[in-house]
Amino acid sequence: MPHNLVEAFKSTLEEAASADIILHVIDINDSEAAEKTDTTRQLLAELGCGDIPVVNVLNKCDLIQNDIPESKDTVKICAKTGEGFDRLLKAISENIRETSKRIKLLLPYDRAGLTSKIREKGKVFSEEYTENGIEVDALADITILNELLKFEVR
């Protein structure tokens, strides 16, 4: 990408640093694909995206004869026909980090405030008050999971 273009879109590109996953779409039929890929990788590194999983999405695979191997981080697709989208979805699910977990809890009444904490970044599916405490079925954000694990019901 030309430097002046990078500067113009810098704030937009900086959003990549907060992404859970980056899909790097590459026109595999472009004679400059390798050079553009290197530039993109360099730019992502400069933006601090080095720890974010990247899936290379090789588009226009219907136009090439080259047998490029696929892996968990490289997928061939054809946006025009939809070919390869099932493999792309699989690659995304294999590469994305877990950000939440479904968990069943038995919270003591003196820890009832944890349900509010769960609701802030997650979801409470059910909540039942019993004589032993509050039974909760929830999708909890990974950031509070350690606090909840001691109350998990298996």
pLDDT at 130 (0 to 100):
96
Q: Give the tokens for residue 151.
A: 């109350």
CA triple 55-22-140, angle to 5 deg: 110
Q: Which domains does the chain show, CATH number per domain? A: 3-95 (3.40.50.300), 100-151 (3.30.70)
* Cβ atoms of residues 1 and 39 within 8 Å: yes
Beta bridge partners of 128: 135
**pLDDT value at 50 more than 70:** yes
| Residue of 76, 140, 151 whose CA lies nearest to 106 | 151
- What would the pLDDT profile of 66-123 be if each residue is shown by its tens digit? 778 888 899 999 999 999 999 999 999 888 877 889 999 999 999 999 999 999 989 9
CB 52 within 8 A of CB 22: yes
Q: Is the pLDDT of residue 149 over 90?
A: yes
CA–CA separation, 154 vs 60, rounded Å? Answer: 47
Question: What residues contact 36, with CB distance under 8 A and at least 6 apart?
Answer: 26, 30
Render the burial of 92-117: b for 16+ CB within 10 Å, e for the rest. Answer: beebeeeebeebebebeeebeebeeb
> Token pair of 74, please?
């490289």
> Which residues are CB-neighbours of 128 under 8 A, at least 6 positions away?
134, 135, 136
Confidence of residue 16 (pLDDT cuts 50, 70, 90): confident
